[in-house]
Amino acid sequence: MSTERDLPMALRAAYLSLHRVSDASFASYGVTADQFVLLATLSQGQALTQRELASRMSSDPSTVRAMLVLLDHGGLVKRQSHPSDARAKTVALTAAGKRKLQQLWNASQQIRDKMFGCLEPSDAGTLVELLRRVANALTEENVASLVALTNSTSVN
């Protein structure tokens, strides 16, 4: 049993499956799976700065900015000056964005049903907890030593 190979591949397979079926179910709404994640993240914390938004959705500011341009164009999101920090902008859902998110949430309910349907109730919690531990262990800070070591190792 080579769990060492299997865990990374299983993680990849599960995520890509989720991403793929999500993209498919959102396509007719003109929204991607990643854009859905952005909208859903906003709905849980209005008036985030772009950096905070990027951090919460495991992305980076540059990527988020590109996504926001698209969503802004579609009228789903609005950006305003931060009240106390003139450098920053706060991002929030528009009314249309909230309606769209509700539609997307409904459209993807069947995906979540499939996900939870194959798990015992207690398994779902376990899975979340284990995934969080893994994500945490693989933070850039935690693997920073890795970069240094890799660079000092003979390459090629």
Per-residue contact track with a second copy, 57 to 96, x per CB under 8 A? Answer: xxx-------------------------------------
Contact 79, 68 (CB under 8 A): yes
Regarding 127 and contact with a second copy (CB under 8 A), the answer is yes
Rounded to 10 deg, the angle between the 33-43 and 3-26 helix axes is 80
Tell me the closest approach of the beta carbon of residue 1 to DNA, in angstroms.
27
Residue 146: other Cβ atoms inside 10 A: 11
Contact 127, 119 (CB under 8 A): yes
Contact 40, 101 (CB under 8 A): yes
User: CA nearest 77: which of 63, 95, 65?
Assistant: 95
Q: Of the two residues 51 and 124, which places its CB atom closer to DNA in the complex?
A: 51
Residues that bind a second copy (CB under 8 A): 1, 3-18, 20-21, 24-25, 28-29, 37, 40, 44, 57-59, 103, 107, 110-112, 114-119, 123-128, 130-140, 142-143, 145-147, 149-151, 153, 155-156
Binding stretches for DNA (CB under 7 A): 16, 19-20, 23-24, 32-35, 49-51, 59-63, 65-68, 70, 79, 82, 85-89
